[in-house]
Amino acid sequence: MRKTLAVMERDLLRILRNPASVFSAVLLPVVYLLILGNSLNGPLTGLRLGVVSEDQGPQARALLGALQAIQNGPGTVVLVPLHDPVRGFRLLHDGAISGLLVVPSTFSRDLSQGVAASAGLYVDNVDAIAATAIEGAVQSALPELLAKQVRFELHLGQAEIRAQELYPRVDYDTSLIPGVVVMSLFFGSMLSGAFNLIMDRFMGVHESYLSTPLRKMDINLGILLSGTLATFVSSSLVLVIGFLITGARVHGGLGGYAALVGVMILTGLGLLAMTMLIMGRAGHPRIAGVLNGFLSVILFFPSGALYPLASFPRWLRAFAQFDPETHAVAALKAILFRGGDLAAAGTHVAFLAVFTAAMLLISTVTMKRTL
């Protein structure tokens, strides 16, 4: 028993000499609770709904009033007043708003004359969950509208909202393709790049670099480029398998394919450079294992790959704006599901380009070229 206790004491001392592992055992579950608990199945709020009202009649004003009550109450939608339907459709295509309601000039007149009146609701159905929430919010405004008007006009017609999906229908399985591709890119970045460098240090291979004229930039870029090629190949296979399973395809011809390849390469290189920055000075593979699980949760789940960003609390939405996987998922969705609309992906691609350049620069400067 004394020998067993001696081994136990030695192992405990070794654990205590590595406080990062002990700290991570406490910190990571708390972070997982905060991230997972706030990124899945939360109530949808703050969905931007563009409103173009070409009718100033009482019924149209009552409809807008009912929508404002929803905005001020449950907060499912945030109304964005617009004067031009063309600009509204442009904002909808670019993803600046999630829905567009167009109230025609004859809406109030038709209702008061006992004729059925329709208003057009156009939704960005790439995100089916958010589109359904907007349709439900707008439809719920109609009973209140009719209840208000029937008191003094018993001959009112029936009001209805005709929902129109902006893009071809995207089912749930198909909508997961961008997230799965980004997940593949992340796992590829964790299994190559910085991880290979850590293993070289752990096995003593890195010492051979010290006897060569290789600069830190040479080592860093060489490892990152090989990792980028490996992650691109693996994520491309995931993409092809996803297409075969769901029947999805790339829109926009050769331009769409080129944009898709560019986003995947840019994302893979950026994630590899980020992991090199975080783990480039580590010397034990155990550190990579701990950080792998931590980064996979805090980057993937807030990215909007599984659930709309509108369901997140404010602090998590703010974090998601700086999450590279958020912009990678959004760019891939724009290319795959928005008819190859490259303009809708422009802002996200610009963020990925700046992020990747910054990570490359900082990871090269901070890389450890010593034992």
- Residue boundaries of the structural domains of the chain: 47-165, 172-366
pLDDT band at 74 (very low <50, low <70, confident <90, very high): confident
- In percent, the amount of the chain with pLDDT more than 70 equals 76
CATH number attached to the domain at 47-165: 3.40.1710.10
Phi/psi of residue 131, nearest 5 degrees: -60, -40
pLDDT band at 155 (very low <50, low <70, confident <90, very high): very low
pLDDT band at 156 (very low <50, low <70, confident <90, very high): very low
Give the separation between CA 184 and CA 305, rounded to whole angstroms.
13
> What pLDDT is attached to residue 30?
63
pLDDT band at 161 (very low <50, low <70, confident <90, very high): low
More confident residue, 68 or 371: 68
Over residues 82-99, the pLDDT tens digits come to 988 889 888 888 778 888
Under 8 Å between Cβ of 228 and 271: no
Give the separation between CA 139 and CA 106, rounded to whole angstroms.
19
Over residues 198-233, the pLDDT tens digits come to 777 777 666 666 667 777 777 778 888 888 888 888
Lowest mean pLDDT among 58-67, 136-145, 261-270: 136-145
Lowest mean pLDDT among 31-35, 237-241, 306-310: 31-35
Three-state secondary structure of the chain: CHHHHHHHHHHHHHHHCCHHHHHHHHHHHHHHHHHHHHHCCCCCCCEEEEEEECCCCHHHHHHHHHHHHHHHCCCCEEEEEECCHHHHHHHHHHCCCCEEEEECCCHHHHHHCCCCEEEEEEECCCCHHHHHHHHHHHHHHHHHHHHHHCCCCCCCCCEEEEEEECCCCCCHHHHCHHHHHHHHHHHHHHHCCHHHHHHHHHHCHHHHHHHCCCCHHHHHHHHHHHHHHHHHHHHHHHHHHHHHHHCCCCCCHHHHHHHHHHHHHHHHHHHHHHHHHHHCCCCCHHHHHHHHHHHHHHHHHHHCCCCCHHHCCHHHHHHHCCCHHHHHHHHHHHHHHCCCCHHHHHHHHHHHHHHHHHHHHHHHHHCCCCC
For the segment 271-275, the average pLDDT, to the nearest whole number, is 90
pLDDT at 263 over 60: yes
pLDDT at 153 over 50: no
pLDDT band at 2 (very low <50, low <70, confident <90, very high): confident
> What pLDDT is attached to residue 151?
38
> What pLDDT is attached to residue 154?
37
Question: What average pLDDT does the chain have?
Answer: 79
Lowest mean pLDDT among 21-30, 108-117, 186-195, 212-221: 21-30
Lowest mean pLDDT among 62-71, 152-161, 222-231, 314-323: 152-161
> What pLDDT is attached to residue 197?
75
